[in-house]
Each structure stands twice: as structure tokens, then as C-alpha cells.
């Protein structure tokens, strides 16, 4: 896991779960996903990560990229356990989501 920003606060609990908060112009979060070949990259003016729940919340001018998928909005919540995104925009604005289909493995029986 790699995080950068103007101000960062990180900690690890007794069970080994990691937590982090960041602020910056921008703050960045990058980690290798456990059950995927993809990296999760995120950027915004603020972020909050809870390693116990697997929830990453990026706020203010936010974007999250997983592989070739990209989500842009004012607030993005990404659940690393379920791989679900939730994106919101302030004041009735729009969010942008680009999700690319995953390639299916070729069938051995033809």
C-alpha cells in the first residue's frame, strides 16, 4: 500500500488491520488487490481508509481506478471486499463511471 498527501495519519490495530486518512492537493492511495491482478488507485483532496472493513472513501475531486475501470465523482466509496463502487456528486452534478467487461476464459471443450 502506498499513500501520499500533504498530511497523512496511519495506524494499525492489534489485529493487524490498517487505517489511514489523508489530505492534500491531491492525496493519493494505491494498493494491490488481494484476489485480483489489478491495482486500485485513487486520488482526491481527502481520503479515509478502514482496513478492518475494507472501505475506502475518497472525497473532493475524487477518482478511483481499478484496472481499466474508472469512477469520477465528488465522493466515492469503494468496498474492497465486494468490489462495489458508490459514487455521488455534490449539488445535483453528475458522476462518471467507465467499467470494462472482464475477458472470459476460452472454453477447453469446443
Q: Which are the contacts of 104, defined by CB distance < 8 A and separation ≥ 6?
A: none
* Annotated domain spans of the chain: 2-98
Write down the residue that cell numbers 488507485 correspond to.
41
- pLDDT class of 36 with cuts at 50, 70, 90: confident
Residue range 58-102, pLDDT digits in tens: 999 999 999 889 999 999 999 988 989 899 998 888 999 998 887
Grid cell listed for 21:
486518512
pLDDT at position 105: 61
Q: What is the homologous superfamily of the domain 2-98 according to CATH? A: Lipopolysaccharide (LPS) transport protein A like domain (2.60.450.10)
Taking residues 39-47, what's their average pLDDT? 95
Q: Which are the contacts of 23, defined by CB distance < 8 A and separation ≥ 6?
A: 5, 6, 7, 8, 45, 46
What is the C-alpha separation between 60 and 12, in angstroms, rounded?
25
Amino acid at each position: 500500500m502506498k499513500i501520499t498527501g500533504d498530511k497523512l495519519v496511519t495506524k494499525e490495530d492489534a489485529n493487524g488491520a490498517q487505517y489511514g486518512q489523508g489530505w492534500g492537493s491531491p492525496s493519493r492511495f494505491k494498493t494491490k488487490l488481494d484476489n485480483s491482478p489489478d491495482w486500485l488507485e485513487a486520488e482526491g483532496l481527502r481520503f479515509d481508509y478502514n482496513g478492518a472493513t475494507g472501505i475506502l472513501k475518497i472525497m473532493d475531486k475524487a477518482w478511483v481506478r481499478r484496472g481499466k475501470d474508472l469512477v469520477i465523482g465528488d465522493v466515492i466509496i469503494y468496498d474492497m471486499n465486494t468490489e462495489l463502487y458508490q459514487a455521488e456528486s455534490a449539488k445535483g452534478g453528475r458522476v462518471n463511471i467507465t467499467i470494462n467487461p472482464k475477458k472470459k476464459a476460452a472454453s477447453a471443450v469446443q
